[in-house]
């Protein structure tokens, strides 16, 4: 009861950051549509290369109404063709998710919009892959659930089908719980109000974005898309927001000395408008067909395109990594040069001003041990100074006790 009262009190005093909510909602919808069309694109390419006729809609691909010839039945009778068509988008989506996770955790970009976009890309890929598999089995859809059917894992064995659905659901929950640790990429959980930031950046954008996506896919909205949106809401509340709140519950929060007011970014809104136009064009569907004698030619073009894309991506990643490594190297060289300048100017620690002591303590590990030993030798020992090569002075006359 106490937890419910605390939760109701927080909702009563909820303060929403409107610009952050709008930016996060727009980026969530863009990531959702981008992942959807990546999945569709890498489904269309292998099917197109095999000579499969299809109608492309804004929310699904129709294979049933156009594949009636005997040649089409021969295409779908092959397990290899099923794997090529429906397993290819899963592989490329996993590669995209791992790449986004690498950039999110290791890139450390200063741009909040980029971190938000990478975060939503990973979330949408996890949802898309697992929900396509789950609802594909539940509603007997043309999706990558056919891969396990043709492998004999989920067909005709009904028990194994529900076991695979349960495993896919567990994988989704696990991924969401792990991604709850990356919400800190969207805002600092130790600054300002954590509950309001969580609602403005995660919960409300998913809730509002889900409502928009339902109208986005009208009029042909499949049951699988409705189920995917519902699963996204449930996973976000129970396995994304709640683990994050539990992890940081009871930890102290501090206020910023100044408030950074976020502004609405117009570039994602413009991209979303272009996506909406593309979505409206495909509302009635686009019929796609290729001649059989061009299949190998099209397949070669696709393979060349994929290989060139992968190579360019790897080159770009290596170039970005080397650039950041060189920038860090130059930064440390500058810091070391600053420390050396301090060491040359101030030989004794007592001579170092207060402003320089902070720098020395901050980069204490960068000091050379030999330089510290040399500074100790400079100090004159009044008793045993001869052993260091210094002349021994009689300092008794300066003793105040003889005055």
Lowest mean pLDDT among 80-84, 214-218, 299-303: 299-303
- Maximum average pLDDT range among 53-67, 136-150, 166-180, 210-224: 166-180
Would residue 130 count as lying in a domain? Answer: yes
Residues 6+ apart with CB under 8 A from 153: 160, 164
Q: What's the mean pLDDT in 20-37? A: 94
pLDDT bracket for residue 365 (50, 70, 90): very low
% the chain with pLDDT above 90: 27
Nearest CA to 204 out of 19, 13, 5, 31 is that of: 19
Domain count of the fold of the chain: 1
Per-residue model confidence (pLDDT) at position 387: 42
Are the CB atoms for 264 and 201 separated by under 8 Å?
Answer: no
State the chain's mean pLDDT as an integer.
78
Per-residue model confidence (pLDDT) at position 26: 95
Q: What's the mean pLDDT in 365-383? A: 44
The pLDDT tens digits for 223-275 are 888 899 999 999 998 888 888 888 887 676 666 544 567 888 999 999 999 99
Would residue 396 count as lying in a domain? Answer: no
The more confidently predicted of residues 329 and 375 is: 329
Per-residue model confidence (pLDDT) at position 358: 53
96/213 Cα distance (integer angstroms)? 22
% the chain with pLDDT above 70: 74
Q: What's the mean pLDDT in 140-144? A: 86
Would residue 74 count as lying in a domain? Answer: yes
- What is the span of the domain harbouring residue 114? 2-249+263-290
Would residue 137 count as lying in a domain? Answer: yes
Per-residue model confidence (pLDDT) at position 308: 86
> Cα–Cα–Cα angle for 253, 257, 261, nearest 5°?
95
Per-residue model confidence (pLDDT) at position 298: 61
CA distances from 304 to 39, 213, 300, 310, 311 (A): 19, 34, 6, 10, 11
Per-residue model confidence (pLDDT) at position 396: 52
Would residue 244 count as lying in a domain? Answer: yes
Q: Is the model's pLDDT at 390 over the cut of 80?
A: no
- 120-134 b/e (C-beta count within 10 Å ≥ 16 → b): bbbbbbbbbbbbbbb
pLDDT bracket for residue 154 (50, 70, 90): confident
Q: Does residue 17 sit in helix, strand or coil?
A: coil
The more confidently predicted of residues 89 and 257 is: 89
Q: What's the mean pLDDT in 328-353? A: 72
Would residue 186 count as lying in a domain? Answer: yes
pLDDT bracket for residue 123 (50, 70, 90): very high
Q: What is the four-CA torsion angle of 58, 60, 65, 69, rounded to 10 degrees?
A: 110
Would residue 379 count as lying in a domain? Answer: no
Would residue 143 count as lying in a domain? Answer: yes
First to last CA, the chain: 80
């Amino acid at each position: 009861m106490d937890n419910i009262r605390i939760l109701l009190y927080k909702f009563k005093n909820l303060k929403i950051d409107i610009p952050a909510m709008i930016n996060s909602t727009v980026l969530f919808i863009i990531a959702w549509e981008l992942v959807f069309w990546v999945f569709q694109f890498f489904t269309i390419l292998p099917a197109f290369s095999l000579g499969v006729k299809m109608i492309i809609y804004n929310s699904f691909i129709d294979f049933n109404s156009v594949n009636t010839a005997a040649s089409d039945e021969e295409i779908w009778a092959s397990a290899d063709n099923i794997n090529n068509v429906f397993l290819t988008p899963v592989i490329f989506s996993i590669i995209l998710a791992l790449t986004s996770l690498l950039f999110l955790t290791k890139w450390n970009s200063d741009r909040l919009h980029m971190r938000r976009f990478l975060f939503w890309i990973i979330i949408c890929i996890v949802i898309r892959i697992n929900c396509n598999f789950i609802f594909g089995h539940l509603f007997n859809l043309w999706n990558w659930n056919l891969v396990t059917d043709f492998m004999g894992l989920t067909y005709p064995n009904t028990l194994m089908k529900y076991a695979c659905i349960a495993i896919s659901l567990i994988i989704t929950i696990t991924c969401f719980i792990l991604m709850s640790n990356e919400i800190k990429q969207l805002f600092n959980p130790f600054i300002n109000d954590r509950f309001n930031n969580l609602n403005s950046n995660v919960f409300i954008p998913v809730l509002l974005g889900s409502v928009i996506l339902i109208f986005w896919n009208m009029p042909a909205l499949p049951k699988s898309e409705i189920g995917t949106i519902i699963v996204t809401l449930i996973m976000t509340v129970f396995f994304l927001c709640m683990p994050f709140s539990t992890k940081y519950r009871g930890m102290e929060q501090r206020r910023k000395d100044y408030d950074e007011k976020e502004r609405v970014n117009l570039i994602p809104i413009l991209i979303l408008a272009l996506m909406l136009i593309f979505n409206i064009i495909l509302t009635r569907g686009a019929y796609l067909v290729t001649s059989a004698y061009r299949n190998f030619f099209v397949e070669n073009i696709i393979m060349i395109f994929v290989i060139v894309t992968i190579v360019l991506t790897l080159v770009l990643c290596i170039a970005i990594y080397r650039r950041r490594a060189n920038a860090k190297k130059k930064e440390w060289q500058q810091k070391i040069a600053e420390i050396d300048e301090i060491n040359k100017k101030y030989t004794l620690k007592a001579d170092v001003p207060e402003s320089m002591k902070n720098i020395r303590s901050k980069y204490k590990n960068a000091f050379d041990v030999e330089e510290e030993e040399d500074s100790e030798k400079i100090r004159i020992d009044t008793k045993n100074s001869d052993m260091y090569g210094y002349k021994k002075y009689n300092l008794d006359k300066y003793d105040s006790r003889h005055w």
